Amino acid sequence: MYKFYILYSEKLDRYYIGSTGDEIGERLRRHNSNHRGFTGRANDWIIMYTESFDTKALAGHREREVKKWKSRKLLEKLIKGEI
């Protein structure tokens, strides 16, 4: 099982969009660890939204689809279940 997910950091007031084949709790732990990269700048990431997929390709496709939106308003509507 693969997951598409959206994280939120209150410290940065930013969303992060990703996908993984790992257990979602473990993936969140790694995002909140001290590391290089975008999510390494904060350690308060929380999971706001997830979708499950049978294949890595489908989860990756959904990730790219949502990233192309480039719209915080659309992301927040997705999180609220409005779209």
Distances (CA, A) of 23 to 34, 38, 43, 72, 76: 19, 20, 18, 26, 24
| Predicted confidence (pLDDT) at residue 34 exceeds the cutoff of 90 | no
Domains of the chain with bracketed CATH: 2-80 (3.40.1440.10)
- Phi and psi angles of residue 22, each rounded to the nearest 5 degrees, phi first: -80, 165
pLDDT band at residue 35 using 50, 70 and 90 as cut-offs: confident
Cβ within 8 Å of residue 48, ≥6 positions away: 6, 7, 8, 15, 79
Of all residues in the chain, the percent with pLDDT exceeding 70 is 100
Using CB atoms within 10 A of its CB, is residue 5 exposed (0-12), middle (13-18) or buried (19+)?
A: buried
Prediction pTM value: 0.94
Per-residue pLDDT, averaged over 31-50, amounts to 94
**SS3 label, residue 60:** helix
